[in-house]
Structure 1
Amino acid sequence: MGEFWPVPEALSYLAGGWRVERVVRDLGDGSEGAFRGATAFTPLSGGGLLHRETGDFTWHGVTRPAERTLRFVPGPQAGTADVRFADGRPFHSLDLRTGRHIADHPCSADLYRGEFTVADADHWRTVWRVGGPAKDLLLVTDYTRETA
């Protein structure tokens, strides 16, 4: 991705449905997997968006259903968001006002570092690097807005 596309209001931008394609690489042993599915950002009562991702994840030749749920709530500054796990625990901040954001999430002995980039009104990407004693992963996810 070259130029970044500024997003003045993250929650408004994300609202709706997105196709998802993710490549997962284990940098330690070279294994590669893929997730294909959809993400829906729907309104939460009280403000924010519920993020529900569903699809199929293939790892070592085996495909299984996979899903995750996150909550995107208004952040401390206008146009930003705080991302939380389904149970309300904090995950990371999200500020797309420049079209690019870096977020860290420490998890036990591992560090998750995410880069969020927006290409245009209908395409954005996340790149998560996960490092620690037991993990050395790279997750690249491309989102494409679903059209009616």
Structure 2
Amino acid sequence: MGEFRPVPDVLAYLAGSWRVERSVRDLAGGGEGRFEGVTAFGAPHRDGPGEDGGPPPDGALLHEESGTFVWLGVARPAVRTLRFLPGPRPGTADVRFADGRPFHDLDLTTGRHVTEHPCSADLYRGEFTVSDADRWRTVWRVAGPAKDLLLITDYARVG
């Protein structure tokens, strides 16, 4: 992907449903997997807790991903939930795990963002790129004593 599309407001851009295709490669062991499914970015339930136990902040999105993950030929259902909260600067996001722990920042105002997330002794390095109004990609490189992975995820807007 050579040119990137700037996104002035990442939460407004992500809102809606996206078709997801993810490849996962274990660079140390040689295993390969694939996830296919859907991610919906929608308003969190107003009765659900926010960061401080109160209601979620205005503009927050709940990221709910579901589909099938095939690893070494074995298919399994897979789900994950993340919280995308308004970031410290307008148009940015603070991404959290479902339980509220910090995951990473996200700023697509240039159409590209690089971020990191330490996980025990491993380091997740993510690159987010936007190609147009309906397509974006993440590339996570995970390196450390426990993991040596490359995860590439392509998103295409549904509808």
> Is TM (by shorter chain) over 0.5?
yes
State how 1:34-49 maps to structure 2 within 5 Å: 34-44=34-44, 45=46, 46-47=57-58, 48-49=60-61
What CA RMSD, in Å, does the superposition of the two structures yield over aligned residues? 0.6
Deviation at 1:29, TM superposition (A): 1.8
After the TM superposition, list the runs of 4 or more consecutive aligned residues in structure 1 that deviate by more than 4 angstroms: none
* Deviation sequence 1:70-95 (CA, Å, 0-9, x none): 00000000000000000101000000
TM-score (norm 2): 0.91
Amino acid at match of 1:36: E
More displaced 10-residue stretch of structure 1: 45-54 or 126-135? 45-54
The separation in 2 between residues aligned to 1:31 and 1:140, in whole angstroms, is: 15
The separation in 2 between residues aligned to 1:33 and 1:60, in whole angstroms, is: 6
* Deviation sequence 1:2-52 (CA, Å, 0-9, x none): 100000000000000000000000001221100000000001243210000
Q: For 2:12, what is the secondary structure of its paired residue?
A: helix
Name 1:64's counterpart in structure 2: 76
Deviation at 1:134, TM superposition (A): 1.6
Q: Which runs of 5+ in 2 are unaligned?
A: 47-56
Name 2:62's counterpart in structure 1: 50
TM-score (norm 1): 0.98
Q: For 1:4, what is the secondary structure of its paired residue?
A: coil
Deviation at 1:60, TM superposition (A): 1.0
Greater fraction strand: 1
Name 2:96's counterpart in structure 1: 84
Name 1:4's counterpart in structure 2: 4
Deviation at 1:102, TM superposition (A): 0.5
User: Percent identity, aligned pairs only?
Assistant: 72
Name 1:32's counterpart in structure 2: 32
Name 1:143's counterpart in structure 2: 155
Q: Which runs of 5+ in 1 are unaligned?
A: none
The separation in 1 between residues aligned to 2:41 and 2:118, in whole angstroms, is: 25
Amino acid at match of 2:118: P
The separation in 2 between residues aligned to 1:30 and 1:7, in whole angstroms, is: 36
How many residue pairs are counted as aligned between the two chains? 147
Q: For 1:29, what is the secondary structure of its paired residue?
A: coil
Name 2:112's counterpart in structure 1: 100
Tell me which of 127, 130, 144 is aligned to 1:115.
127
The separation in 2 between residues aligned to 1:124 and 1:107, in whole angstroms, is: 24
